[in-house]
Amino acid sequence: MGATRFYHVLAATPEDILRQLIGRALAEGHRVVVRGSTEAWLDALDTRLWTEPEDGFLPHGRAGGPHDADQPVLLTAGGELPGRPGSLIVAEGAAADPAEAAAVDRLCIVFDGRDPAAVDRARAQWRAMAAAGVPAEYWSNDGGRWALKHRR
């Protein structure tokens, strides 16, 4: 069963943290699925991954094409996990099922700590993971650096 990591974002934007998490997962040899809840948010993330930073981009594709299982990073609003990716990164309040933790090596749930609704959703996801016996870690960057605050 994969570990679930909750990232409570306070000192940046969730999109900035996504770029870091995606880059780290790719460096470790993982294919990555990034799940958001709206097409508009995925459109904005898609643009950022192609254009930022100016000296590089993160190769990726949008779900729904014939080569979804081959994409190094797949952006989706759906529940698919084609080709058994190593990492699933969930953001923008998208759903994460405890059973998915067993389907990937790493499940990351990224949420904006300045948004009370996002914090409430993350708490509900934490409780669901705990009820299913999924190991989880809670990370926060409130001081500008990531710190492990809780492990279960």
Q: Where are the domains of the chain?
A: 3-105+118-151
Strands (DSSP E) contained in 1-152 are: 3-9, 32-35, 61-62, 73-76, 87-90, 106-112, 136-140, 147-151
The pTM assigned to this predicted structure is 0.93
pLDDT, one tens digit per residue, over 108-127 is: 999 999 999 999 999 999 99
pLDDT, one tens digit per residue, over 34-71 is: 999 999 999 999 988 888 766 677 889 999 988 999 99
- The superfamily (CATH) of domain 3-105+118-151 is DNA polymerase III subunit chi (3.40.50.10110)
